[in-house]
Structure 1
Amino acid sequence: MHNHLSRTLERLARAKRERILPRIHTRLGGVEIEAWTVTDDGEPVSARHALGLARDTGRTTPGYRPFPLGAAWGKAWSTTWFRIRGTAGPQQAGLIELVLDLGWFDHSVGGHCEGLVFTPDGTIVKGLHPRQSDVRLKGDGAVPGLVDADGAFLLYVEAAANPLLLGLPPFVVTEHGEKGAEEPFEQFRLRRAEIAAFSSEIHALCCDLDVLGGLATELRADEPRHWRLLRGIEQALDVYDEADAEAGARRARAILAPLLATPAHASAHRITAVGHAHMDTAWLWPLRETVRKLARTVSNALALLDADPALVYTMSSAQHFSWLEEHYPDLFARVRRHVEQGRFVPVGGMWVEADGVIPTGESMVRQLTYGKRYFISRFGREPREMWLPDSFGYSGALPQLARRAGSRWFLTQKISWNDTTVFPHHSFWWEGIDGTRIFTHFPPAETYAAEVTARELRHAVATFKDKAIASHSLLPYGYGDGGGGPTREMAERLHRFGDLEGAPRVSSRSPAEFFQEAEAELLEAGSLEPVYRGELYLELHRGTLTSQAAMKRHNRRCESLLRAAEYLSAAASTLRGAPYPREDLDEIWRTVLLHQFHDILPGTSIAWVHREARDTYRATEERLHELIKQAGAALGGERADPAGGVLPPFAAANPRAAVVKVADGEDGGTVLDDGLLRVVIGADGHVTSLLDARTGREVVPPGRRLNELQIFRDEPVRWDAWDVDRHVLRHPQVIDEVTNWRMIRSGPDAGVEVVRRAGASTITLTMWLRAGTGRFETECVVDWEEREQLLKVAVPVRIMARTARFETQYGYVERPLLTNTAAEEAMFEAAMHRYVQVADGDFGLAIVNDAMYGADARADGDSTVVRLSLLRGARFPDPRADVGMHAFRWAVLPGADVPAAVEAAYAFNTPDLAGLPQVAPLVRLEALTGHALIDWVKQADDGSGDLVVRVYETRGGRASARLHCCEELGEGAVLWETDLLEREIGGEDDLPVAVGPAGSRRPVSEARLDLGPFQVATLRIAL
């Protein structure tokens, strides 16, 4: 028997492919096809314009012409509208469908051409992709009124000729990532357009065989269930006859029915399956295409929800809902109705699925506050989970920020991509750098785009790490990245796996229902509860910290300008009665948050996306400068310190008494000395000595050179823009060539300018000793032309340490400098924000920067070598990524502890706002113990005019302070603590409060702040 059944699965595969699947649709007749390709600038037109219902200003009037089946349509990124007429006559009973093939590949759903179907009045019917190619005309599931009494119909298809950029091998270097690229493009062809009868019986047989055949494949050969499934499949194939496929399908299904009715084991793992379509806000397509992808995907999801009342669908990102609301209001209204029913579930509570490590703390706060407020305002619902399945690592600040924004749970699965170590848990408590815990789940199927197959379900069971204490996991299913969402085949498999021997039990429920049960299950484990502390470092995609450097520079600049603009606008409104530019600031914030999406800010999108982003960033910075100028004009006032610890001074620094003395060095170089630091720069342009005169400590190790530029062959194994692989860092080439060298002076400061060549690129380093600051600063301008090269600058320091502190949101991550374990070695490139700080004994040193996020730091004997990553030259998805001019700044601060590093980092990143009038600070902190600072000041989001002040502890210890308001605010100011959405904190939350007890209000003059390690406090002041 075993020998007889050994080839059953091979027989099944061929029978499905050749004899069953082709019989699901039976051709009834052809259709009449006309087409119109949108010309002008190649950008899409509105459906109303294409359908002749309205006219888009400046766009060509549609001119439909007969279009032959099999003909090519559409240049890369173009849009063709098809007008399709046909008749599904009264004599044609049963389920009748229009079947289309726009020229699809049998893979990459959402990754190449797609379509959206409209009725003549502009109603959206559904989206089209390789696994969703039919439109129901008659029978259950058909849109009412699609055909008239005689069976005639008229439909329009908006077809997008998005080129396939993700092929085999995974990446093909192509110019098609830019609009209007001249590289030849093989156009898609309309291969099929016909009216067909749909056999629900044959389709059901396919689904039966998918489930049972897949399960038989996954079960071990020593399990009786495996052989019984094979025998049943064999018998079903015996009775199926394609000559009478409908009757044959019924006979085959009768044989398979008992196998599908056998229930799962009592101890079977439970899986909550939620429909999903992870939608990249931009990636291998521009932002404008994501708007259309949303319409295609959401319309398919809604059609599936309408057809199957048991299903639940989830969608994240308030930006995506907002785009639907703006561009597809009818579709948005349908979404709202399903949200009210609890079947279309907004998840995540963020504006977009942002990068998890690069945005500053305030940006992550706004991702949550703008996202949650949108969902509350539109649907009356507040998502309670943070949903980031595909970001490239997760900072240790996120548990606190999520909890302080009102969230209870966190979801990702990206850590399963680790290239070195296997993460130890799937359901666990994630403890942030401040000690806050959040229940966290990694779907053990290890995908956010499951298809509900036996392989995925069995993998989930086998992989799940926490079986001893948990029995439940989540499965997001549906085509993702480029959208597409769940299909009716996935839904059918879901139902069959509901309670089936040999498989986990699968049910369709909301994520909240899953999280509530899974969290409760973990709580019951008591002392066995798994806890993971610190950042979730992704051992992959380390190059995203450096790729497309302009994204990082502009993001940092916008964050700094927003900090200044909100503070000054709040001051102008509070002190002078000027209007607070809330709408402008909200719009700017939403723009910045959008571009923090995890394929824009990390630099992993096509050229089109980054070109548009650079233009948008520049315009945004201009708007912020104008808001700052307006606030300054409203403030007026005498010169004084406007920051008081809130913001570093906006105007030029006060005159310094120190002056840098310049002397000749022994080797023809230069010695710079201001009495605090003594710097020796050799004739080769490298720093050979940096002496801290205050302590007599030499910083540069013997025989080493500080500010040494190193270049590496950067040839990732697979993911070009994403990865810096460990082999890349093995063989640095020092850039020694000097084409120009000169001394320069600026006021009390002095420096050396060195110009170097690296391949076709020019690098200009201007190294300054800033008199009286204790800071050795470098300005670096690069005209970058290299491909597949990584540029770093090495800063070796004579400090023997085991760890280095890399700034993250509201604190730092302490990372190992040693490589004793595989996990330590895997952190060979890691994220930093504005500083890296190292120390031995009582001597510390900080390196601050204005635009960089990637660095490596390793112990080297009695020294530490820190290397900052400046530029890369990835070839995919943008073949000319980073080509052009770039500017960076960094500074070395000998003797700096963490508080000094934090304050220097703030000052180093404050925009140049010289010339603004200055007024006394609105609020300031008086330190009592430890170190805390005010990170942000703004007006409350509810328009009340209250001030909101964000404070945090910086050292990872404890701090106490008093908050003081300026005299102009009066004596009656009252303070209380809120959550991140500026709602009063109740006593039921277990999070620590800075102004206790929770819910208390007190005069600012009497308020004392007590902060734990890295604790963030949001303080609201009513004047």
Structure 2
Amino acid sequence: MHSTTTRTQARVTRVVRDRIAPFVHRPVAEVGLQAWPVDGGQGEPVPAAHALGLRAAPGRETPDYRPFAVGHEWGPAWGTTWFRITGTVPAGLADGERAELVVDLGWEDHSVGFQCEGLVMTADGAVLKALNPRNRWVDLTAVAGPGESFELYLEAASNPLLLDVPPFRPVTGGEKETAGPAPAYRLRRAEICVLERELHELVLDLEVSAGVAAELSVDEPRHHRLLRAVDRALDEIDPEDLAASGARARTHLREVLARPAHATAHRATAVGHAHIDSAWLWPVRETARKVTRTVANTLSLMDEHDDFVYAMSSAQQFAWIEEHAPEVFARVVERVREGRFVPVGGMWVESDVTMPSGESLVRQILHGQRYMRERFGAYNRILWLPDSFGYSGALPQLARLGGFDSFLTQKISWNDTNDFPHHTFWWEGIDGTRLLTHFPPVDTYGAEVTPRELAHAVRNFRDKELSDHSLVPFGYGDGGGGPTREMLGRVERMADLEGVARVEQRRPDEFFADLHAETTSETPVWRGELALELHRATFTTQVAMKQGNRRSENLLREVEARAVRAMLAGAPYPYDELASLWQRVLLHQFHDILPGTSISWVHREARATYAAVEAEARALADAADAAVAAAEPAAVEPAAVEPATPTAEVRVDADARTVESADVSLRLDAGGAVVSWVDAATGREVVPAGARLGELRLLRDQPVLWDAWDVDRGARRTAQALDGPCEWEVVRSAGRAGLAVTRSFGRSVVRTSYALVPGRREVEVEVDVDWHESERLLTVGFPVDVAARTARFETQFGYVERAVHENTSWDWAQYETCAHRYVHVSEPGFGVAVVNDGSYGHEVAARDGGGVEVAASVVRAPHYPDPATDQGRHRKRWVLAVADDLGIVTETAARVNRVLAPVDSPVGLEVDEGVAVLDTVKAAEDRSGDVVVRLYEAAGGRARARLVPGPLLGADVSVRVVDLLEDDLGADLADDRSLVSGQGAVAVELRPFQVLTLRLSRTRAGDAPGAPRPH
């Protein structure tokens, strides 16, 4: 019986592919073609108005359309070619017949969104829809009636095929300049056709009937009845009379497709979606066009399918449509009002959420949610991040404070070691905040709504005893495309069909409302981070992304505090300039840019962006300082800092290879690693016996699949210490002194320096490498004689604690994990922090013989998607500090990562108990002149502190607690314990890892003390 099933399935595939699908579109007329390759096909995109001759774009060549023919080549890689298509709709169409323009730009029959694409519009610039390998048609009834002529324009992007699947075969070519001028595609088809509706519907009938049968047990009668109906339908097909025989074939399937689902069938909420990467195997400029193409297709489908609901995330992507295709954006706004086009996500982009700082995640939410409210009238409630590479334990608190009550992702299904135990659960963050979370058990954010996918979702769903429904996001994603009419046809057939989940198109907020309603005390809880057991190398790949992001997010916070001082002194606050800078940084926190997993074009532009952000931010800082100096000359003096101590207080003996201060003694071996580090205050030897601190290791780094994304565990077995001949030198600068060693290896050169600063129980380690290796990973080890059972890895507004052993498979899978500014290991009474200025990938493991080793990844050299990844010069710096107190650790991390010289803060924080950190001082986004202050508890305990307004702010200040959106806290978030007093110096109490945002208003005449200011 199994062989019968297999034979019928194979028969369906063959008949549909060879005898039905090619004839769904019946050619009825030719079209005229002309083409204009922009700048010879290699130019950057031009505005549509320019290509259509409606409005010239300055500095661009005049469009020159010349005759073109089907069969001719077009499109150098990354180029743009405009086609003018003219024709006449046949006058003799029968009633109900629909004329469609059918185009084949030269696609491979796979990889939607990963090859050439097109956008079709009328001569006056109205966008109709997009074209891709699964969406090759344009309805002509919208532009011309029978016997009428039409003129359409097709903007064709010749993006190269850089991800050839299936199977996975990485292809390089991520730079326009090196791609070459040769045409990448050949136009295969462009003609007017009639859509044979019966054949189109027959294909869907057969796919669903045979697909459901394939997922049912051979012991079920339903399985056999479906197969019998499918065979009878196939018997009916007559190639000599397809239209009539197709209609007859459908009659054999009508009864089996009308059988209703069982009362207990799983419920699937189908939501149209296209997860579009804001950059990946294409540059940012192409993403803006991809978004417009996908949304155009979505709007076209909505015109024909009344039940169709589509969800789209990322304020940045809405903003691109608003900027580049305002007519399309106006249609989006109208559909949002109807409730069918649903904004979700509420962040500026679908950001990486492991590496950005806490304040960066706040700004992702703040800028995203404000955009959504301003354009669409409401904040989003669903945090929608289907494809980010792991999820910080700080996120539930930030999400709730940012207006969200639900979270959706599916990426954890990619785990390479452990299967996550739930699909619907409460996610509890490091501070105790809970967020209702759903992982779609269909295990994809780009479903095609097939019986196989739905059957997988039902089998896979791990919370059947508590819930009977799940969400299915459907539509081509990554490179865009979105849902198709074929997907919607399958949804309609499986709305209530025996043998498969009951499918209903609904808004995602309706789905989550049901989920909230059915939660009970038995709903499972997962506490802490949602670590992805895959893509571990994203914490290291493309060093410049990590350092550029870290430096930018720190710099912008420092500039904001200076700008507040200037505002309080009477200068205007640079709201627009700072918003622009933040949004550029937020864009580059997208989960294929910051992690380093995009083509070279993306990272080249990102490096330039980071440089521009720094230059513009420094100019704002200088302007703010000048404004304060003009108003209050004394106020601009730098805050008191520890004066530079003469380096003579650090004794360096190059012959003995020792470096000593009153606080620290170092001894290096002949290979340039530290073999002794004595902490004078305790007399402790920090380096374990036989260990080498600062040892550089070169690993063979050849992941099984995803080059830029992964570092396989086996790479650790190939580690070779760099221990050959080296050159020594004494280094002295800015109050520090020490020794440096330089050595060559392979085609690279690396210099490691060790320096001490008097008065600090610290060792500064700097690695400066000129890197020219291939498929290698460079790491540095910091072994310390500390009996730690766990290690603290800083995350946003706190830390996560991870085991240093491998007792369980969950521990074993955490061999390369993310830390922000520090990793801290301690035993009672003694601890060591490894503080960095721009690194994220770390591993902490117990050592044989005692102590632990903190290993930091320095630089990689994967081939795909950027074969030049990290080639060149890089500098990384670590400060190793003896510190058991997390307050000292946090202060050290802030000092090491500061970009500008410190100045007096407009608001001070005096800590009475515990560890409280004043993180951010900025002006309120509503331009009211209020000051927003954000602080947090950093050590996982309780803290008491007093917020003290500085002289520029004055004592006559009212204070209230607000959320991340700078609105008053809702009743579900209010905590009266946080704010003890609301006038003058403000006493605050913080729970473990609590993030507290305060809004300070200078009281004006007529204001009641403490009264909210209008905003």
TM range (shorter): over 0.9
Q: Which residue of 2 aligns with 1:268?
A: 265
Q: Helix, strand or coil: the match of 2:519? A: helix
Task: Give, in angstroms, the shift of residue 641 of structure 1.
Answer: 9.8
The aligned length equals 996
Task: Give, in angstroms, the shift of residue 522 of structure 1.
Answer: 2.1
Q: Does 1:103 align with 2:106?
A: yes
Q: Which residue of 1 aligns with 2:1011?
A: none
Q: 1:759 to 1:5 in 2, by over 3 A?
A: closer
What is the CA–CA distance in structure 1 between the aligned matches of 2:426 and 2:866, rounded to whole Å?
39
Q: 1:5 to 1:928 in 2, by over 3 A?
A: closer
**Any conservation in 1 of the 2:428–2:528 contact (CA below 8 Å)?**
yes
**Any conservation in 2 of the 1:781–1:887 contact (CA below 8 Å)?**
yes
Q: Which residue of 1 aligns with 2:983?
A: 1003
**Any conservation in 2 of the 1:171–1:876 contact (CA below 8 Å)?**
no
| 1:716-795 matched pairs, under 5 angstroms | 716-746=703-733, 748-795=735-782
What is the CA–CA distance in structure 2 between the aligned matches of 1:791 and 1:514, rounded to whole Å?
47
Q: What letter corresponds to residue 192 of structure 2 in structure 1?
A: I
Q: Which residue of 2 aligns with 1:438?
A: 435
**Any conservation in 1 of the 2:962–2:997 contact (CA below 8 Å)?**
yes
Q: Which residue of 1 aligns with 2:951?
A: 967
Q: Which residue of 1 aligns with 2:649?
A: 660
Q: Which residue of 2 aligns with 1:420?
A: 417
Match of 2:135 among 120, 132, 137: 132
Q: What letter corresponds to residue 824 of structure 1 in structure 2?
A: D
Q: Does 1:188 align with 2:182?
A: no
Q: Which residue of 2 aligns with 1:27?
A: 27
Q: Which residue of 1 aligns with 2:525?
A: 531
Q: Does 1:449 align with 2:446?
A: yes
**Any conservation in 1 of the 2:958–2:984 contact (CA below 8 Å)?**
yes
Task: Give, in angstroms, the shift of residue 663 of structure 1.
Answer: 5.1
**Any conservation in 2 of the 1:562–1:624 contact (CA below 8 Å)?**
yes
**Any conservation in 2 of the 1:89–1:152 contact (CA below 8 Å)?**
no
| 1:39-78 matched pairs, under 5 angstroms | 39=39, 42-78=43-79
What is the CA–CA distance in structure 2 between the aligned matches of 1:329 and 1:563, rounded to whole Å?
33
Q: 1:679 to 1:5 in 2, by over 3 A?
A: closer
**Any conservation in 2 of the 1:115–1:160 contact (CA below 8 Å)?**
yes
What is the CA–CA distance in structure 1 between the aligned matches of 2:4 and 2:117, rounded to whole Å?
44
Match of 2:306 among 309, 315, 318: 309
Task: Give, in angstroms, the shift of residue 506 of structure 1.
Answer: 0.6
Q: Which residue of 1 aligns with 2:1007?
A: none
Identity %, equivalent residues: 51
**Any conservation in 2 of the 1:650–1:912 contact (CA below 8 Å)?**
no
| Deviation larger for 728-737 or 845-854 | 728-737
Task: Give, in angstroms, the shift of residue 44 of structure 1.
Answer: 0.8
Task: Give, in angstroms, the shift of residue 658 of structure 1.
Answer: 8.6
Q: Helix, strand or coil: the match of 1:177? A: coil
Task: Give, in angstroms, the shift of residue 961 of structure 1.
Answer: 1.2
Task: Give, in angstroms, the shift of residue 186 of structure 1.
Answer: 6.1
Match of 2:595 among 596, 602, 615: 602
Task: Give, in angstroms, the shift of residue 773 of structure 1.
Answer: 1.8
Q: Which residue of 2 aligns with 1:870?
A: 858
Unaligned runs of 5+ in 1: 643-648
Match of 1:1018 among 997, 1001, 1006: 997
Q: Which residue of 1 aligns with 2:37?
A: 37
What is the CA–CA distance in structure 1 between the aligned matches of 2:762 and 2:670, rounded to whole Å?
22
Task: Give, in angstroms, the shift of residue 654 of structure 1.
Answer: 2.1
Task: Give, in angstroms, the shift of residue 669 of structure 1.
Answer: 3.3
**Any conservation in 2 of the 1:777–1:889 contact (CA below 8 Å)?**
yes
List per-residue Cα deviations over 1:59-118 (Å, max 9, x = no partner). 111111111211110110111111111111221231111111000011000000000001
**Any conservation in 1 of the 2:650–2:758 contact (CA below 8 Å)?**
no
Q: What letter corresponds to residue 743 of structure 1 in structure 2?
A: V
Q: Helix, strand or coil: the match of 2:39? A: coil
Q: What letter corresponds to residue 662 of structure 1 in structure 2?
A: R
TM-score (norm 1): 0.95
**Any conservation in 2 of the 1:993–1:1017 contact (CA below 8 Å)?**
no
Q: Which residue of 1 aligns with 2:871?
A: 883
Q: Helix, strand or coil: the match of 2:781? A: strand
Match of 1:911 among 872, 875, 899: 899
Q: 1:169 to 1:85 in 2, by over 3 A?
A: closer
List per-residue Cα deviations over 1:624-667 (Å, max 9, x = no partner). 1111111111122567898xxxxxx77864244895342547xx
Q: Helix, strand or coil: the match of 1:337? A: helix
Task: Give, in angstroms, the shift of residue 147 of structure 1.
Answer: 1.8
Task: Give, in angstroms, the shift of residue 748 of structure 1.
Answer: 4.2
Match of 2:200 among 200, 203, 223: 203
Task: Give, in angstroms, the shift of residue 969 of structure 1.
Answer: 2.6
Q: Which residue of 2 aligns with 1:645?
A: none
| Deviation larger for 766-775 or 697-706 | 766-775
Task: Give, in angstroms, the shift of residue 235 of structure 1.
Answer: 1.3
Q: Which residue of 2 aligns with 1:940?
A: 924
Q: What letter corresponds to residue 589 of structure 2 in structure 1?
A: Q
**Any conservation in 2 of the 1:659–1:772 contact (CA below 8 Å)?**
no
Task: Give, in angstroms, the shift of residue 967 of structure 1.
Answer: 3.5
List per-residue Cα deviations over 1:130-162 (Å, max 9, x = no partner). 010011113xxxx2xx12663211111111100
Q: Does 1:901 align with 2:873?
A: no
Q: Which residue of 1 aligns with 2:548?
A: 554
What is the CA–CA distance in structure 2 between the aligned matches of 1:662 and 1:774, rounded to whole Å?
15
Q: Which residue of 2 aligns with 1:569?
A: 563
**Any conservation in 1 of the 2:92–2:146 contact (CA below 8 Å)?**
no
Task: Give, in angstroms, the shift of residue 48 of structure 1.
Answer: 1.2
What is the CA–CA distance in structure 1 between the aligned matches of 2:482 and 2:243, rounded to whole Å?
29
What is the CA–CA distance in structure 1 between the aligned matches of 2:751 and 2:395, rounded to whole Å?
38
What is the CA–CA distance in structure 2 between the aligned matches of 1:856 and 1:87, rounded to whole Å?
67
What is the CA–CA distance in structure 2 between the aligned matches of 1:802 and 1:2, rounded to whole Å?
54
Q: Does 1:978 align with 2:962?
A: yes
Unaligned runs of 5+ in 2: 1003-1015
Task: Give, in angstroms, the shift of residue 243 of structure 1.
Answer: 2.2
Match of 1:616 among 603, 609, 615: 609
What is the CA–CA distance in structure 1 between the aligned matches of 2:917 and 2:35, rounded to whole Å?
63
What is the CA–CA distance in structure 1 between the aligned matches of 2:283 and 2:53, rounded to whole Å?
26
What is the CA–CA distance in structure 1 between the aligned matches of 2:647 and 2:680, rounded to whole Å?
14
Q: What letter corresponds to residue 609 of structure 1 in structure 2?
A: V
What is the CA–CA distance in structure 2 between the aligned matches of 1:791 and 1:170, rounded to whole Å?
31
**Any conservation in 1 of the 2:883–2:889 contact (CA below 8 Å)?**
no
Q: Which residue of 1 aligns with 2:810?
A: 823
Q: Helix, strand or coil: the match of 1:451? A: coil
Q: Helix, strand or coil: the match of 1:81? A: strand
Q: Helix, strand or coil: the match of 2:343? A: strand
Q: 1:175 to 1:24 in 2, by over 3 A?
A: closer
What is the CA–CA distance in structure 2 between the aligned matches of 1:409 and 1:387, rounded to whole Å?
8
Q: Which residue of 1 aligns with 2:880?
A: 892
What is the CA–CA distance in structure 1 between the aligned matches of 2:723 and 2:46, rounded to whole Å?
54
Q: Which residue of 2 aligns with 1:90?
A: 91
| 1:653-692 matched pairs, under 5 angstroms | 653-656=642-645, 660-662=649-651, 664=653, 668-692=655-679
Task: Give, in angstroms, the shift of residue 51 of structure 1.
Answer: 1.2
What is the CA–CA distance in structure 1 between the aligned matches of 2:104 and 2:640, rounded to whole Å?
63
| 1:496-507 matched pairs, under 5 angstroms | 496-507=493-504
Q: What letter corresponds to residue 562 of structure 2 in structure 1?
A: L
What is the CA–CA distance in structure 2 between the aligned matches of 1:534 and 1:653, rounded to whole Å?
38
| Deviation larger for 40-49 or 188-197 | 40-49
TM-score (norm 2): 0.96
| Deviation larger for 78-87 or 437-446 | 78-87
Match of 1:461 among 458, 463, 488: 458
What is the CA–CA distance in structure 2 between the aligned matches of 1:582 and 1:183, rounded to whole Å?
43
Q: Does 1:513 align with 2:493?
A: no
What is the CA–CA distance in structure 2 between the aligned matches of 1:913 and 1:169, rounded to whole Å?
53
**Any conservation in 2 of the 1:100–1:134 contact (CA below 8 Å)?**
yes
Q: What letter corresponds to residue 414 of structure 1 in structure 2?
A: K
Q: Which residue of 2 aligns with 1:592?
A: 585
Q: Does 1:628 align with 2:631?
A: no
Q: 1:536 to 1:993 in 2, by over 3 A?
A: farther
Q: Helix, strand or coil: the match of 1:180? A: helix
**Any conservation in 1 of the 2:424–2:438 contact (CA below 8 Å)?**
yes
